[in-house]
Amino acid sequence: MTLAAEAANNPELDFPGRRRFARRVSIMFLLLGLILSTIAVQVYRAVGDFVDAARWVNHSLGVRQEITLTLGSLHSAEASQRAYFISGNAQRLGDYTATAPQVFAHGARLAELVANDPVQLDAAKELAALLEARIDSIQESLALYERGGIEAVRATIPIGQTRAEDFSIDSIGQRMLRHEEQLQAIRETRITDQALLTRVLTVGASILSVLILGVALYLVLREQRHRTASMREARLANRKLLQSLADAQRMGHSLRELANLGEMLQACRDIDEAATGLRISLPRLLPGSSGSVHLINASQTLAQTVAHWGEADDERSDIASLDDCWALRRGHAYPLSGTTPAFVCRHLLASKAAHPAHDHLCVPMIAQGEMLGVISVTSEQEIHGSERSNIIAACEAISMALANLKLQETLRFQSLRDPLTGLFNRRYLEASFEREIQRAERRGIPLSVLMLDIDHFKRFNDSFGHEAGDALLASFGALLGRILRKEDISCRYGGEEFTVVMPEVDIALARIRAEEICAAVRAMDVSYRNLSLGKVTISIGVASYGEHGLTPDELLRNADNALYLAKKGGRDQVVIAEILRPEAGVSGTAAAPRE
């Protein structure tokens, strides 16, 4: 096909036609711009004229007001004078004294306002002279009144003279008012003419502009119809390309977030820290969704919520039974991809009832053949494709990380805890005791240590067997875990002997705590195979940092000596270690056997 044929079939290739269209539209818009510029200039000039005319109209109003105020002030002064003559009231004289200066003030203001009008300026000067003469006449009459009363005034100043002066003043004032009214009428006429001209130009230019815009719109629409067919295919191809780019970007984002999630989980030290990280990372990996991570408890009875994100408040509660979740029942994601679920997980019933249109997905967390828990995700959109794959991939990464953390916690517990009593072991005591002594020395706070020993423990073993003795040790360890503070360090020192380090506790308070432990042990009722082991008592030796030593060895040795004294003194009691002199050392007597 030739280029001419292609140009005939496809208007997009008709370059001369496109140039003509561009020229026509450019000329029309230039003409429209010229018209609008003309209107803008005319409006600008009209606004300037309006402002100027309004200023002069206000000026005329001000002049008229000052004329009225000047005449009114004079008449008020005359009225006060006459009232004073008639009544002889001094208050009327005061009114005149206050009003008379206003006559000259208004006259001066009037002269300032008409300074640019020679006719009015001459009249203002003439008015000022008459006002001055009239005030002088009033002052003269007041002086005559003071000397001879009203008869002296009548005899000296004829009534006709006063009337003539007032008539002259009023005549000048009226002439000035008429002149200002004529000026105001001329200015208002000028404003009206200017407004009419502006209105005519604006209406005409608006009509012409609408015609030009109509022609330009017609040309644009015709050109748009020519381009629509060819641009449709271009838009379709562009949409596919953008969709591919968006998918690639989402995939890249998901891969980065999955990598960040895995790196974050590998750096976590425990499950609580991992749960905090999941609350931050999962919303980034799964934007627009909400959900929660549930871990199966040690007794395999329920799945506890360890992390949640989004606004799904009803998903934050624990899964009361493992049978409530179909993913936990079946061991794989529920519902299957592309299927409509026949059942809804019971832990999601409230969410489904509140938001029937939302989609849900539960994915079990399985690592090394062990069911660890489930991830539950809710979204306003259907969960499919890459989003479903991201959830499953995240679940696999989380499962492996949580399995490793559980293993690390188990190993850490085994390395620091006594498996029988659940208390810390001697290794942990040696590491933490030194740290607590340094803290007490640095902060100047007290520190006490208790050495505890179960009385007649060998008799329990001999009478009930070693398994019963183990049950007694486990019960005693659980008792210490309940009644001691969180900051106290309770350890199994060896055999039936235990050690408790009490930070920020002095010797007096340590004795009280030790007595409380003795009382709690007496109240214990330990049974083995439905057989009560009988009364249990303990002996306790107490030592305090500073008074009984400055190092862990010194404190433990002196607390052990005090324990020996408690055993020797009849058992079931608390004994405080003896205060040692620094020069005497802390060697002491080696502790004797307990039993």
Q: Specify whether 217 is located in the same domain as 76.
A: yes
pLDDT above 60: residue 207: yes
Q: Specify whether 211 is located in the same domain as 292.
A: no
Interval 343-363 mean pLDDT: 81
The pLDDT score that the predictor gives to residue 316 is 60
Q: Do 402 and 273 form a contact (C-beta atoms < 8 A)?
A: no
Q: How far apart are the first and last CA of the chain?
A: 114
Query: Has residue 3 been placed in a domain?
Result: no
Distance CA 348, CA 334 (A): 12
The pLDDT score that the predictor gives to residue 591 is 43
The pLDDT score that the predictor gives to residue 484 is 93
pLDDT > 90 in the chain, percent: 21
Q: Specify whether 324 is located in the same domain as 224.
A: no
3-state secondary structure string across 269-308: CCHHHHHHHHHHHHHHHCCCEEEEEEEECCCCCCEEEEEE
> Residue 335: is the preceding peptide bond cis (ω within 30°)?
yes
Interval 325-345 mean pLDDT: 83
Dihedral in degrees, nearest 10, Cα atoms 160, 166, 171, 177 = -170
Q: Which of 250-259, 387-396, 418-427 has the highest mean pLDDT?
A: 418-427
Interval 510-532 mean pLDDT: 91
| Tokens matching residue 29 | 């818009």
Which residue range is the domain that position 353 belongs to?
268-415
Query: Has residue 61 been placed in a domain?
Result: yes
Q: What backbone phi and psi angles, to 5 degrees, belong to 492?
A: -90, 115
Higher pLDDT, 346 or 557: 557
Q: Specify whether 333 is located in the same domain as 222.
A: no
Instruction: Identify the domain boundary among 354, 388, 415.
Output: 415
pLDDT above 50: residue 527: yes
Query: Has residue 234 been placed in a domain?
Result: no
Q: Do 556 and 499 form a contact (C-beta atoms < 8 A)?
A: yes
Strands (E), 407-465: 447-454
pLDDT tens per residue across span 401-421: 887 777 777 666 666 888 899
Q: Specify whether 82 is located in the same domain as 211.
A: yes
CATH number of 511's domain: 3.30.70.270
The pLDDT score that the predictor gives to residue 18 is 67
Q: Which helix (H) or strand (E) holds 199?
A: helix 159-267
The pLDDT score that the predictor gives to residue 540 is 95
Instruction: Identify the domain boundary among 415, 443, 472.
Output: 415
Measured N-to-C along each axis, helices 90-113 and 118-156 cross at an angle, to the nearest 10 degrees, of: 160
Query: Has residue 236 been placed in a domain?
Result: no
Q: Specify whether 311 is located in the same domain as 460.
A: no
The pLDDT score that the predictor gives to residue 120 is 81
pLDDT tens per residue across span 106-123: 888 888 888 888 888 888
Interval 295-314 mean pLDDT: 76
Q: Specify whether 274 is located in the same domain as 408.
A: yes
CATH number of 365's domain: 3.30.450.40
Among 187, 248, 232, 162, CA closest to 49: 187
The pLDDT score that the predictor gives to residue 260 is 79
Assign 588 a pLDDT band (cuts: 50, 70, 90). very low
Query: Has residue 258 been placed in a domain?
Result: no
Q: Specify whether 431 is located in the same domain as 375.
A: no
pLDDT tens per residue across span 47-102: 777 777 777 778 888 888 888 888 888 888 878 877 877 777 778 778 888 888 88
Query: Has residue 1 been placed in a domain?
Result: no
Interval 236-257 mean pLDDT: 77
Q: Specify whether 411 is located in the same domain as 422.
A: no
Contacts of 406 (CB under 8 A, 6+ apart): 271, 372
Q: Specify whether 434 is located in the same domain as 390.
A: no
Q: Do 594 and 459 form a contact (C-beta atoms < 8 A)?
A: no
Higher pLDDT, 571 or 100: 571
State the maximum Cα–Cα separation within the chain, in Å, rounded to a whole number: 151
Instruction: Identify the domain boundary among 386, 415, 444.
Output: 415
pLDDT tens per residue across span 168-192: 888 888 888 888 888 878 877 877 8
Among 25, 26, 3, CA closest to 15: 3
pLDDT above 50: residue 37: yes
Distance CA 503, CA 433 (A): 10
Q: Specify whether 49 is located in the same domain as 146.
A: yes
The pLDDT score that the predictor gives to residue 412 is 66
Q: Do 372 and 402 form a contact (C-beta atoms < 8 A)?
A: yes
pLDDT tens per residue across span 123-163: 888 888 888 887 888 887 888 777 777 777 776 777 677 77
The pLDDT score that the predictor gives to residue 185 is 84
Higher pLDDT, 25 or 560: 560
Assign 504 a pLDDT band (cuts: 50, 70, 90). very high
Q: Specify whether 346 is located in the same domain as 461.
A: no
Whole-structure pTM value? 0.42
Number of separate domains in the chain: 3
The pLDDT score that the predictor gives to residue 12 is 47
pLDDT above 90: residue 497: yes
